[in-house]
Amino acid sequence: MTKDSGDVRDVLTNLYSNSTANRYIAATVLALVVVFSYTGYDTLVYRHDVIQNFSEDNEWLLTFETTSDTTQQTVVLQDEETRDLTFDMTDFSVPDGYRIGYIEAQIVGEETAGVLSGNQCDSIAGDIVRNDLTAQWDDPSNNLSGQDSSCVPIDLRLSVYPEFDGEDITVRSINEFQALMGWTDDGWGKGLLSITLELDTNSNTPFVGVDDDEEITIDINVVMFRASVEAIE
């Protein structure tokens, strides 16, 4: 029996007046509930937990394991001579998973090294020459030039990997991979390291003779690192 009173109860009675259709409707509603239940569990419970673990508030401690490779070269410079020395970075052995962090150079003169020549300290200057070597040439921690006339070694430094100083750092990211992402770039430290040496001897020492040359030793220390990460609870 149908009613057209317009009352919601009557309208629904009319709509659900067909028992065969009602069975299909009930099956559809049941299907809705079943599908929503298991997909809801996956979405609202499982996936939500997964996402929370990857939430952007995750803090990670980045630590750096370092190693280094060195090379040494000794040259003899005449008074007022300038000499360019180059070191091919491929000659340094970089272990798997490591990247070059920075390069240190120490320039040591003959007198500095403790050789008893009896002479006054010579004036030595050393520069790391800016070239195509892929490095942080404008990093404030660089020390690209040095000069000494008091028998003290000259220490030069060139930062190679961006923002690497060897200290542990804390980063925020959604997962371990992304926390490490900035520390796995290849391509830094490629090219030739060029160092210019300049000598100005002080040979005005009585009873010793004329000192018009100097043996200079250059130690190159390439510091490499491998980053690892652990979550901060």
Partner 1 sequence: MAELESMTPVAAIVCILLGCTSLLLLKRSPNRGWIDHMGGMMLSWIILFMGVSYAATAVREAFEDSSVDLDFFRYTQYSFGLVSIILGASFTFFYPYPIIQKASRIKAVPYFVCVLSLVLIVSMLLMDYKYVGATRIVYIPGFIILISVYFRFLTDEIKYGDETARRLSFAAGLIIIALHGAEMTWWLAQLISINDEFIGRNAIQSGVGDFSRIPTWIGYNVMTTIGAVATLTLAAGETWRAQAKGRSGFTIIIYLILGVGLISGIADYAVLDIVNSCMNTVCNDFPESYDIWYTFTTGALVLLFTPLISMYVLLNFDVIDSGSKENRWLTRIIVILMLLIVSSTMIELLQSFLPVSQMISSAILAMVVAIFIGWEERIMEKLIEQSESISKKLSSLKEIHEPDLDVTELEFFSKAMGSLLVFTVVLCFLYSSIT
Please identify which residue in 113, 115, 152, 181 interacts with partner 1, judged by CB under 8 A. Answer: 181
Q: How far is C-alpha 208 from the chain's CA centre?
A: 51
Least distance to partner 1, CB of residue 164, Å: 21
Please identify which residue in 20, 167, 187, 207 interacts with partner 1, judged by CB under 8 A. Answer: 20
DSSP 130: P
Least distance to partner 1, CB of residue 178, Å: 6
By CB atoms closer than 10 A (0-12, 13-18, 19+), residue 158 is buried
Query: What are the helix (H) ranges across the chain?
Result: 8-15, 19-40, 48-53, 176-180
How far is Cα 166 from Cα 177, in angstroms, rounded to an integer? 20
Is 6 or 114 the residue whose CB approaches partner 1 more closely?
6
Indicate the residue type of 92: F
Please identify which residue in 74, 82, 177, 230 interacts with partner 1, judged by CB under 8 A. Answer: 177
Q: Name, in order, each residue with C-beta under 8 angstroms of 138's C-beta and a sequence gap of 6 or more.
A: none
Residue 231 sits in the site that holds partner 1 (CB under 8 A): no
Determine the interface stretch with partner 1 among 114-122, 169-177, 190-198, 211-219 (rule: CB under 8 A): 169-177
Q: What angle do CA 178, 179, 180 make, to 5 degrees?
A: 90
How far is Cα 108 from Cα 106, in angstroms, rounded to an integer? 6
CB 176 within 8 A of CB 54: no
Total site size for partner 1, rule CB under 8 A: 46
CB 198 within 8 A of CB 75: no
Residue 186 sits in the site that holds partner 1 (CB under 8 A): no
What distances in angstroms separate CA 165 from CA 90, 184, 194, one per listed residue? Answer: 22, 15, 22
Residue 116 sits in the site that holds partner 1 (CB under 8 A): no
Is 41 or 71 the residue whose CB approaches partner 1 more closely?
41
Determine the interface stretch with partner 1 among 36-44, 71-79, 154-162, 215-223 (rule: CB under 8 A): 36-44
Residue 172 sits in the site that holds partner 1 (CB under 8 A): no
Least distance to partner 1, CB of residue 101, Å: 24
Is 50 or 116 the residue whose CB approaches partner 1 more closely?
50
- Positions touching partner 1 (CB under 8 A) are 2-8, 11-12, 14-18, 20-21, 24-25, 27-29, 31-32, 35-36, 38-40, 42-44, 46-48, 50-52, 54-57, 174-175, 177-178, 181
